[in-house]
Amino acid sequence: MKAVRLHAPGDLRLHDEPTPKPGIGETLVRVKAVGICGSDLHWFGQAGIGDAWLQKPLVLGHEFAGVIAEGPRQGERVVVDPAIPCNACEFCLQGNPNLCEHMRFAGHGAEDGALREYIAWPDECMFPLPDSLSDADGAMLEPLGVAIHAVDLAHLKAGMTVGVFGCGAIGLLIVQLARLSGAATIIATDRLVHRVEAAGSLGATKAILAEGGAEIQEVMAATGGCGVNIAFEVAGEQEAVEMSFTTVLPGGKVILVGIPANDITSFPASVARRKGLTIKMVRRMKHTYPRAIELVSTGLVDVRSLVTHRFPLVKAVEAFAVAQRREGIKVIIEM
């Protein structure tokens, strides 16, 4: 089979490898579509993310859908949860498998991901993909799961005012979920014009181009000078973090979704303290696939319009270059 491995920063290579053999409780899946995530770009650009670094040539990719290749479910289309919790540690037993102490995650650390033609993965991580959804739609369910978890953490209520700072795929999905949750005002910002336009078309009541901090006044004006109840930082950039803390109102919440390149997030303690803010960090998701499938299959959330570029596996280097330049929104690699 064909597989793409990361050998060093910016060094992706196509390999011919044996097809993996499923272990106990695993199923062989023929991969059909893989999304390139912001965290994949950290691995691609820096050969690591946070405190995890490249240990061996690594197959990236954790947003994926495919077809079961053998066994009694052969031919069934599935979307695959990339996270394998231990189901035995304190955090798993408390219902927080996303915080598992022994988590295995596709395309992270020593665990090969989905940028290959076949992957063997636990049965419990597979969810049937409705015929109404394409393989690329299925790959988009993972970022939608992260967005769902972020909104869950925010306890968003009808009538609230929301800021979404960063309009990549997850930011645009949060915009849609905020609309579904009944947010009265949704203000979205991004540095890129095409992403600002996408935010406006997907439900933001005010979409603003971020230009050197001048957008802060626009955000405050859009809230009548009060600020937002909930600020979602979804860019992984310090400017978006500062925007969140500046524009959220006293007693509000800041939900930090983005992953900074230098593994440092900072904010003025005096502002957070005087405002009495609640600050939450988003760690992936927990059992959101059934909800994500329902939201997309019923047409309540649009993932399809977020896919702007498609490449075959053999052009993975070009696909990553396009994603790194932020030319579109979501880049998909199809087998």
Fill in the amino acid letter for 323: A
Fill in the amino acid letter for 161: T
Encode burial over 47-84: b for 16+ CB neighbours within 10 A, e otherwise: bbbeeeebeebbbbbbbbbbbbbeeeeeebbbbbbbbb
Q: Could you tell me the residue ranges of all domains in the chain?
A: 2-140+303-334, 146-281
pLDDT of residue 214: 84
Look at the domain 146-281 and name its fold.
Rossmann fold (3.40.50)
- Look at residues 189, 248, 201, 255 and name the one whose alpha carbon lies nearest to residue 223: 248
For domain 2-140+303-334, is the CATH number 3.40.109.10? Answer: no
pLDDT of residue 17: 98
- Beta-ladder partners of 231: 163, 254
pLDDT tens, the chain, 335 aa long:
999 999 999 999 999 999 999 999 999 999 999 999 999 999 999 999 988 999 999 999 999 999 999 999 999 999 999 999 999 999 999 999 999 999 999 999 999 999 999 999 999 999 999 999 999 999 999 999 999 999 999 999 999 999 999 999 999 999 999 999 999 999 999 999 999 999 999 999 999 999 888 899 999 999 999 999 999 999 999 999 999 999 999 999 999 999 998 999 999 999 999 999 999 999 999 999 999 999 999 999 999 999 999 999 999 999 999 999 999 999 999 99
- Look at residues 270, 261, 221 and name the one whose alpha carbon lies nearest to residue 240: 261
Phi then psi dihedrals of residue 82, to 5 deg = -75, -10
pLDDT of residue 213: 81
